[in-house]
């Protein structure tokens, strides 16, 4: 069926613009508002009206760049549109329609890719896409009676998007010190993550792994993968019927919004503080409210793995934040409690201007993970847009945690839209405490297993097993090594003869 459809269409021959051409076109849009902002910053008479006019002009310029160039600029616009509490309202309004408004590929181009990668295997295949994004578009299909979603990568998109992100890094470098967040660090992390987003085999593995992490009492729906049909450029998965949060014309009804907040908070807490592997792009277009009222999380092209040490320190921060004792005298917690939080944040790599120490790192932790209405220590304000935001005082933020922070601020942004007080730390502290218990149990089990190995090693030394293995057994008893095929070989085989022999 697909073969006949492809043969009746001329081959798609879209010509990609070169990186240099796209660079010139991007800076044509970016330079005028950048110049305006720099002039206003240097002016001693600029007022709120002048800044509002500059924001409108800048937002319109970025929207024109997105409409003309697409690519990674669309993904950046999605982030801006979803964070009304982080960016000036002029930008959020101008970019609000970007999440689902990317022109789809011609049907012939899509079907050609699907035929090449999967063969003519689908009982049904809807040529009109369910949605089109900067990297790929998704079509509904039926495979062996199973309703599926088929994600098809846009030909040539990898080279295009990597060029785009480099232009945004250059713009962020020019704006360093003039924005509440060092966006150069953010874009550098996204650039590193972007390469994996073009490999749908990795995305399928990520989806399966997160689905397994949340398998016990799942807080949200993670689609299952059809492995036999998935490849680097095509991903076939369960079809989930639902409405993206980005398509809600107004703020979702409060019961729906609270259910979404609860599901997102639990899912990300379990993933980040558990295995440390999590979805790194939870913007409203990737969140579906299903027909049964459940929340589904789709698009696993951006994921992140953080280390065990980072997970343990993050968990300790959540517990310390949740256990603070607040009073009129100490609205953010007792000094010794704040100092502990500051030390933990510093251990993660959070650094501020020396004049804002020692409270600064604690203020960053509260700003990212606790109630947005709370007064911050050190005289900081809990608004990303305020010149007195702790983000302005940051001199270093760990690159590995940029996407943890992004997930946090997206969840807090939804809470702000709903007008509810929401503390991630309070919810995640319970997950962190449970994870500590699990880790202790695993450690005890590991020690029991090691004792069993030592007993077996003792029996080997006593001659109950072949003398050939005694060197390895002695090494285990002395805790110099652990079992592996390599250590076994090293223990029982003679050393290689030297060249002088």
CA distance 490 to 9: 63
Residue written as token pair 């040490």: 309
- How many CB atoms neighbour CB 90 within 10 A? 18
**How many residues would you count in the chain?**
501
164 is known as an active-site residue:
no
The DSSP symbol for 394 reads E
Tell me what percent of the chain is helix, strand and coil, each rounded to the nearest 5: 55, 10, 35
HSE-CB at 431 with a 13 A cutoff on CA atoms is 24
Give the N- to C-terminal CA distance of the chain in Å, as an integer. 71
Residue written as token pair 């002088």: 500
CA distance 265 to 425: 10
Tell me if 29 sits within 8 A of 77, measured CB to CB: no
- How many CB atoms neighbour CB 284 within 10 A? 22
Closest CA to 144 of 123, 115, 119, 127: 123
Helix spans in 274-423 (H):
308-322, 335-348, 359-369, 390-393, 402-418
Q: Any bridge partners for residue 143, and if so which?
A: 146
Compute the chain's Rg from CA coordinates: 27
The single residue of 100, 120, 164, 281 carrying the catalytic annotation is 281
Tell me if 239 sits within 8 A of 315, measured CB to CB: no
The per-residue DSSP string of 170-228 comes to HHHHHTTTSSSS-HHHHHHHHHHHHHHHT-HHHHHHHHHHHHHHT-SS-SSB-PPB-GG
HSE-CB at 310 with a 13 A cutoff on CA atoms is 18
Q: Give the per-residue SS3 of 88-119.
A: CHHHHHHCCCCCCCCCCCCHHHHHHHHHHHHC
Q: Any bridge partners for residue 288, and if so which?
A: 244, 296
**Active-site amino acid positions:** 281
């Amino acid at each position: 069926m697909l073969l006949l459809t492809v043969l009746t269409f001329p081959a798609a021959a879209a010509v990609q613009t070169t990186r240099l051409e796209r660079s010139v076109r991007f800076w044509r849009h970016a330079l005028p508002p950048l110049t305006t902002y720099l002039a206003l910053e240097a002016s001693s008479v600029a007022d709120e009206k002048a800044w509002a006019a500059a924001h409108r002009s800048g937002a319109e310029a970025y929207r024109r760049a997105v409409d003309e160039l697409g690519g990674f600029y669309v993904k950046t616009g999605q982030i801006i549109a979803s964070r009304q509490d982080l960016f000036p309202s002029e930008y959020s309004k101008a970019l609000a329609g970007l999440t689902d408004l990317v022109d789809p590929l011609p049907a012939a181009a899509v079907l050609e890719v699907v035929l090449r990668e999967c063969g003519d295997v689908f009982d049904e295949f809807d040529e009109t896409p369910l949605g089109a994004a900067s990297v790929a578009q998704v079509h509904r299909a039926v495979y062996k009676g199973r309703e599926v979603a088929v994600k098809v990568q846009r030909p040539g998109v990898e080279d295009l998007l990597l060029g785009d992100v480099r232009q945004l890094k250059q713009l962020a470098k020019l704006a360093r010190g003039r924005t509440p967040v060092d966006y150069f660090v953010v874009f550098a992390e996204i650039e590193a993550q972007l390469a994996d987003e073009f490999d749908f085999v990795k995305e399928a593995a990520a989806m399966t792994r997160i689905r397994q992490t949340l398998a016990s009492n799942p807080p949200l729906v993670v689609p299952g993968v059809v492995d036999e049909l998935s490849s680097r450029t095509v991903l076939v998965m369960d079809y989930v019927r639902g409405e993206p949060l980005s398509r809600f014309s107004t703020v979702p009804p409060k019961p729906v919004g609270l259910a979404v907040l609860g599901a997102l908070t639990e899912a990300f807490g379990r993933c980040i503080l558990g295995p440390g592997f999590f979805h790194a792009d939870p913007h409203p277009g990737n969140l579906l409210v299903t027909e049964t009222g459940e929340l589904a999380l789709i698009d696993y092209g951006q994921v992140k793995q953080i280390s065990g040490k980072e997970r343990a320190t993050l968990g300790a921060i959540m517990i310390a934040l949740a256990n603070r004792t607040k009073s009129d005298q100490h609205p953010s917690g007792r000094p010794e409690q704040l100092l502990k939080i500051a030390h933990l944040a510093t251990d993660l790599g959070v650094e501020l201007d020396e004049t804002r120490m020692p409270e600064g790192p604690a203020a960053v932790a509260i700003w990212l993970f606790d109630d947005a209405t709370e007064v911050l220590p050190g005289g900081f304000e809990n608004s990303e847009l305020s010149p007195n935001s702790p983000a302005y005082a940051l001199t270093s933020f760990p690159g590995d945690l940029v996407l943890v922070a992004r997930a946090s601020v997206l969840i807090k942004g939804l809470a702000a839209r709903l007008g509810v007080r929401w503390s991630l730390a309070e919810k995640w502290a319970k997950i962190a405490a449970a994870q500590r218990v699990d880790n202790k149990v695993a450690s005890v089990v590991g020690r029991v297993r090691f004792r069993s190995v030592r007993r077996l090693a003792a029996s080997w030394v006593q001659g109950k097993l072949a003398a050939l293995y005694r060197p390895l057994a002695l090494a285990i008893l002395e805790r110099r090594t652990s079992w592996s095929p390599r250590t076994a070989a090293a223990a029982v085989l003679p050393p290689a003869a030297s060249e002088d022999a």
